[in-house]
């Protein structure tokens, strides 16, 4: 059961647990300079992630491929929207070089949605996976993919490149899809992405943001939908409205509520769950991966 929120969560002002430190560590500026010099993008900056100072100070970042302009206009997302430019053919190699320069052994790669491309950008994911493995021996790679417009061959192509984790976010509960600017049937499409990835032998992961107006029953039903799709791992974080033009925030959840939701999710069979106000899709991704592989045997993608 979701416990009643404490009084401070009912205020418009952000509660204390959502306060983050200002970027000041030298490693933050090292990462920023490295990315800028290679013309690379990150979801950290494009989506205004509150963890950017912490992650970049630890010399890690989540790479954003297929450019920085998304062809969809989801009401919760701060990423640029519009007509994107052509793909950069050297983007995969630049990502790999940057990851190697940062000393990463676990790399998270995500993308904007590219409905303008026949394969939705799947080929660029494959090339990025290949470039990373060529550049960094023994690297573990998590891909956070879009739904590829329901293109099953595109998903199969990405899985054939054998990512260590296939992540695809549901984002919110089914009832709120219209509120975030997505057709309601896209909820089932996203579940199908996760289900098919699992059928092809992948470890799977998804993410939810809460605070958009969902009910307790909505959240628990979503957990059950994900488990029916055999999703292995889950992240749960607080929705933060990027600007006044984005979907409005309904409420803040307390840390105790996030812990309660973590326990509810674990009780439904997820191998690993990260849940907290500042948790995002790639939050402590390597730790969640270690949790998942510790509870199940490795198995190759049957592609």
Reported as half-sphere exposure (CB side, CA atoms, 13 A), residue 30 has a value of 14
- Grade residue 8 by pLDDT with cuts at 50, 70 and 90: very low
Q: Which of 42-51, 65-74, 137-146 has the lowest mean pLDDT?
A: 42-51
For residue 298, is pLDDT > 50?
no
- Grade residue 9 by pLDDT with cuts at 50, 70 and 90: very low
Instruction: Report the percent of the chain where pLDDT is more than 70.
Output: 92
- 7 in any annotated domain: no
pLDDT the model gives residue 295: 55
- 279 in any annotated domain: yes
- 5 in any annotated domain: no
Phi, psi of 188 (to 5 degrees): -70, -35
For residue 49, is pLDDT > 80?
yes
Bridge partners of residue 209, in order along the sequence = 237
Domain total for the chain? 1
- 235 in any annotated domain: yes
More confident residue, 122 or 4: 122
pLDDT the model gives residue 92: 98
**What are the pLDDT digits (tens) for 176-219?**
999 999 999 999 999 999 999 999 999 999 999 999 999 999 99
Alpha carbon distance 80, 96 (integer Å): 24
Q: Which two tokens stand for residue 105?
A: 């052994």
Would you call 210 helix, strand, or coil by DSSP? strand
Structural domain that includes position 112:
23-295
- 15 in any annotated domain: no
- 302 in any annotated domain: no
The stretch 92-116 carries a mean pLDDT of 96
- 8 in any annotated domain: no
DSSP letter, residue 11: S
Among 99, 202, 105, smallest CA distance to 145 is for: 202
For residue 6, is pLDDT > 70?
no
Alpha carbon distance 151, 193 (integer Å): 9
| pTM exceeds 0.75 for this model | yes
What is the average pLDDT score of the chain? 90
The stretch 112-128 carries a mean pLDDT of 97
List the CATH number of the domain containing 55: 3.20.20.70
- 239 in any annotated domain: yes
For residue 297, is pLDDT > 90?
no
């Amino acid at each position: 059961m979701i416990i009643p929120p404490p009084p401070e969560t009912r205020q418009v002002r952000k509660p204390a647990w959502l306060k983050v430190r200002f970027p000041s560590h030298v490693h933050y500026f090292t990462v920023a300079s490295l990315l800028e010099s290679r013309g690379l993008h990150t979801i950290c900056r494009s989506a205004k992630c509150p963890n950017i100072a912490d992650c970049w100070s630890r010399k890690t970042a989540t790479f954003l491929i297929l450019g920085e302009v998304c062809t969809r206009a989801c009401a919760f997302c701060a990423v640029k929207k519009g007509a994107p430019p052509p793909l950069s053919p050297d983007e995969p190699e630049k990502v790999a070089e940057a990851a190697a320069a940062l000393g990463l052994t676990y790399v998270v790669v995500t993308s904007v949605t590219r409905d303008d491309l026949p394969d939705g950008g799947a080929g660029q994911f494959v090339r990025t996976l290949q470039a990373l493995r060529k550049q960094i021996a023994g690297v573990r790679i998590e891909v956070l993919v879009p739904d590829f417009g329901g293109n099953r061959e595109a998903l199969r192509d990405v899985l054939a490149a054998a990512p260590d984790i296939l992540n695809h976010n549901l984002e919110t509960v089914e009832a709120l899809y219209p509120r975030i600017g997505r057709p309601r049937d896209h909820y089932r499409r996203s579940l199908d992405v996760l289900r098919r990835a699992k059928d092809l032998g992948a470890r799977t992961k998804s993410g939810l943001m809460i605070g958009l107006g969902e009910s307790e029953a909505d959240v628990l039903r979503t957990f059950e939908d994900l488990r029916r799709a055999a999703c292995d791992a889950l992240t749960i974080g607080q929705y933060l409205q990027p600007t006044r033009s984005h979907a409005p925030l309904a409420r803040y959840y307390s840390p105790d509520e996030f812990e309660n939701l973590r326990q509810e999710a674990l009780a439904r069979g997820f191998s690993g769950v990260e849940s907290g106000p500042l948790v995002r899709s790639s939050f402590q991704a390597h730790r969640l991966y270690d949790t998942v592989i510790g509870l199940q045997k490795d198995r190759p993608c049957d592609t």
